[in-house]
């Protein structure tokens, strides 16, 4: 290994990519992972807690199944606008500014929800909280992906998404120990979801702006300072760094003028059209099935004859399966192509849904619920890592934000559709519906998904805009 010396050459995009690619994963990368992971943990906890307050709020306020479903969709409505806004603003004003603002929004809204005097206030507060969590969810993964070497990017972003699982587990524990046992427990758990506002001071002080964002917007000197600072932090830990090996194939592609309207238009230009449609179908299927299952599972178990306490206990066990689901997907996606990992986990989710559709005992419901939880949460890790890779830097957060927003349409409709259809199709019919959607998603990704594993973000972006053929040369 040799350390670079002499005057620093002008920071071209392929030189910047080479300098970031040659870095060993070190404390700097783990610090970013932990910072972003905590954001995802509290995002997930804030979102998942809705499932546990629904039975108590429904009983206290005498809500119909339809009203309960609408309340269950409140967070997802906010997610839609938050993800869309974060994607657009992330490519316009920067990733870091959006992350910090989103944190403030959802923590404040959670406190309002905790004090809600009626259905309308609770619904609106949950929508605003969803805007904050949706914005964070859409911006953190592409932000971190722009710092990480391609050789570990899938595992790294998959591990980042794995922090969602801890949020769901915390939510289930709070639901079991607080909502079901403490007077007005559904209010107190929402106070607890506002705790991450304390992360604001840390984020504002320690998180740099993405150098790839800075460079593509012409802020080359700022990008150089960020990259140089990263190199100093890494070399202080691991010693002299290897000489960067720039490749002309790593030149960043410019697909838009940078204006919001042009960024949105670019999503359907050239080879990006196939990428965009594929990502939209994938996100819709994944989010519909994910929220259809996790928002309703405590209430569906109650409808199957379980009391609330046992329903929450089963939910904790089912949610615990999320953790190995996330991290197994992160591990597998570095060893086989990312798109095929997605297909495997969608197909595994379909098997779990099939098992639930024909479950007749509490043991069968628990076992197949764990299977579905494992594969759907492994897939959730892949959503963020994969979509963070398939768009060029100039429209990366726009692409992921819009895809996530389309997915949230699925999340919004899922609790409502399940709420209104349960009476006609029953427990088995609900999971048959999820089965069909998961198979559809697997087929679309298998045929049209882009090849990304082990490739630089710049080379993926070049292939994406040039490749009109299905599969992206997979």
CATH number of the domain bearing residue 31: 1.20.1250.20
15 is written with which tokens? 């030189």
Given this model, what pLDDT does residue 331 score? Answer: 85
Residue 306, pLDDT > 90, answer: no
Q: Confidence band (pLDDT; 50, 70, 90) for 249?
A: low
User: 3 lies in a domain?
Assistant: no
User: 248 lies in a domain?
Assistant: no
Torsion on CA atoms 430, 435, 436, 440, rounded to nearest 10: 140
69, 120 Cβ separation under 8 angstroms? no
- Long-range CB pairs of 115-121, under 8 A, 24+ apart, other chains included: 115/187, 116/187, 118/61, 119/61, 119/63, 119/67, 119/71
Reported pTM: 0.81
Q: How far apart are CA 139 and CA 400, in angstroms?
A: 8
Q: How far apart are CA 453 and CA 339, in angstroms?
A: 9
SS3 474: coil
User: 245 lies in a domain?
Assistant: no
- Long-range CB pairs of 231-240, under 8 A, 24+ apart, other chains included: 231/19, 231/23, 233/26, 233/27, 233/28, 234/23, 234/24, 234/26, 234/27, 234/28, 235/3, 237/26, 237/27, 237/28, 238/24, 238/26, 239/1, 240/1, 240/2, 240/3
Arithmetic mean of pLDDT, 267-282: 90
Q: How far apart are CA 343 and CA 345, in angstroms?
A: 6
Q: Is 102 left (phi over 0), alpha (psi -120 to 50) or beta?
A: alpha
Q: Which residue has the higher pLDDT, 289 or 183?
A: 289
List, for residues 58-116, the tens digit of each pLDDT value.
888 988 877 887 887 787 788 889 999 999 999 999 999 999 899 889 889 999 999 99
Q: How far apart are CA 65 and CA 50, in angstroms?
A: 15
SS3 2: coil
Residue 470, pLDDT > 50, answer: no
Given this model, what pLDDT does residue 9 score? Answer: 61
User: 58 lies in a domain?
Assistant: yes
Q: Which residue has the higher pLDDT, 189 or 24?
A: 24
* Sign of the alpha-carbon torsion through 315, 321, 327, 331: negative
Q: How far apart are CA 431 and CA 355, in angstroms?
A: 9
Other CB atoms within 10 Å distance of the CB of residue 320: 17
Q: How many residues does the chain have?
A: 474
Q: Which residue has the higher pLDDT, 277 or 426?
A: 277
Out of 30-44, 401-415, 437-451, least confident range? 401-415
Q: Is 84 left (phi over 0), alpha (psi -120 to 50) or beta?
A: alpha
> How many independent structural domains does the chain possess?
1
Given this model, what pLDDT does residue 304 score? Answer: 62
User: 472 lies in a domain?
Assistant: no
Q: Confidence band (pLDDT; 50, 70, 90) for 27?
A: very high
Q: How far apart are CA 402 and CA 80, in angstroms?
A: 9
User: 4 lies in a domain?
Assistant: no
SS3 320: helix
Out of 226-240, 297-311, 328-342, least confident range? 297-311
245, 18 Cβ separation under 8 angstroms? yes
List, for residues 425-443, the tens digit of each pLDDT value.
776 777 788 888 999 999 9
Match 């882009």 to its residue by tokens: 450
The proportion of the chain whose per-residue pLDDT surpasses 70, expressed as a percent, equals 88
Q: How far apart are CA 348 and CA 342, in angstroms?
A: 10
171, 322 Cβ separation under 8 angstroms? no
203 is written with which tokens? 């984020």
User: 6 lies in a domain?
Assistant: no
* Sign of the alpha-carbon torsion through 382, 165, 77, 142: negative
CA distances from 80 to 41, 68, 106, 448 (A): 19, 19, 14, 25
250, 18 Cβ separation under 8 angstroms? yes
List, for residues 191-213, the tens digit of each pLDDT value.
888 887 778 778 878 899 999 99
User: 259 lies in a domain?
Assistant: yes
Given this model, what pLDDT does residue 474 score? Answer: 41
Given this model, what pLDDT does residue 56 score? Answer: 85
**Structural domain boundaries, residue 62:** 13-240+254-466
Q: Which residue has the higher pLDDT, 392 or 359?
A: 392
Q: How far apart are CA 392 and CA 216, in angstroms?
A: 10
Q: Which residue has the higher pLDDT, 296 or 188?
A: 188
Q: In 64-184, which ranges are continuous DSSP H helix?
A: 65-92, 95-114, 119-145, 153-174
List, for residues 320-372, the tens digit of each pLDDT value.
887 888 889 888 888 888 999 999 999 999 898 888 777 767 778 788 888 98
Out of 35-44, 117-126, 216-225, 452-461, least confident range? 452-461
268 is written with which tokens? 């359907």
Given this model, what pLDDT does residue 67 score? Answer: 84
Q: Which residue has the higher pLDDT, 5 or 157?
A: 157
The proportion of the chain whose per-residue pLDDT surpasses 90, expressed as a percent, equals 32
Given this model, what pLDDT does residue 270 score? Answer: 76
Residue 159, pLDDT > 90, answer: no
Q: What is the mean pLDDT of the chain?
A: 83
Given this model, what pLDDT does residue 368 score? Answer: 86
């Amino acid at each position: 290994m040799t350390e670079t010396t002499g005057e620093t050459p002008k920071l071209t995009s392929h030189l910047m990519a080479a300098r970031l690619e040659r870095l060993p994963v070190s404390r700097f990368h783990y610090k970013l992972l932990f910072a972003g992971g905590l954001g995802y943990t509290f995002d997930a906890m804030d979102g998942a807690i809705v499932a546990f307050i629904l039975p108590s709020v429904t009983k206290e306020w005498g809500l119909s199944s339809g009203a309960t479903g609408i309340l269950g969709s409140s967070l997802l409505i906010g997610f839609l606008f938050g993800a869309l806004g974060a994607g657009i603003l992330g490519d316009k004003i920067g990733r870091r500014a959006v992350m910090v603002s989103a944190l403030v929004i959802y923590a404040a809204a959670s406190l309002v929800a905790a004090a809600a005097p009626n259905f309308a206030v609770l619904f609106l507060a949950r929508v605003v909280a969803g805007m904050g969590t949706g914005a964070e969810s859409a911006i953190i993964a592409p932000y971190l992906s722009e710092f990480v070497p391609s050789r570990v990017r899938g595992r790294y972003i998959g591990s980042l998404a794995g922090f969602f699982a801890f949020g769901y587990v915390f939510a289930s524990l709070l639901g079991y120990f607080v909502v079901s046992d403490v007077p007005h427990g559904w209010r107190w758990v929402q106070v607890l979801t506002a705790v991450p506002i304390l992360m604001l001071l840390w984020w504002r002080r320690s998180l740099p702006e993405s150098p790839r964002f800075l460079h593509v917007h012409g802020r080359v000197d700022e990008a150089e300072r960020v990259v140089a600072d990263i190199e100093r932090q890494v070399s202080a830990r691991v010693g002299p760094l290897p000489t960067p090996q720039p490749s002309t194939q790593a030149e960043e592609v410019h697909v838009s003028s940078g204006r919001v309207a042009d960024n949105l238009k670019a999503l359907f230009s050239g080879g990006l059209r196939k990428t965009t449609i594929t990502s939209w179908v994938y996100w819709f299927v994944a989010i519909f099935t994910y929220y259809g299952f996790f928002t309703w599972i405590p209430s569906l178990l109650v409808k199957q004859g379980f009391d609330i306490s046992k329903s929450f206990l089963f939910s904790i066990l089912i949610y615990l399966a999320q953790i190995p689901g996330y991290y197994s997907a992160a591990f597998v996606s570095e060893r086989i192509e990312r798109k095929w990992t997605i297909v495997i986990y969608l197909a595994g989710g379909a098997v779990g849904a099939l098992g639930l559709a024909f479950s007749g005992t509490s043991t069968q419901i628990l076992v197949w619920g764990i299977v579905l939880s494992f594969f759907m949460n492994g897939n959730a890790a892949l959503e963020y890592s994969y979509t963070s890779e398939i768009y060029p830097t100039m429209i990366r957060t726009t692409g992921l934000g819009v895809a996530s927003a389309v997915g949230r349409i699925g999340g919004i409709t899922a609790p409502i559709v399940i709420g209104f259809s349960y009476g006609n199709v029953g427990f088995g019919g609900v999971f048959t519906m999820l089965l069909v959607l998961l198979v559809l998603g697997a087929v679309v990704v298998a045929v049209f998904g882009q090849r990304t594993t082990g490739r630089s973000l710049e080379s993926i972006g070049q292939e994406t805009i040039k490749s009109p053929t299905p599969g992206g040369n997979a």
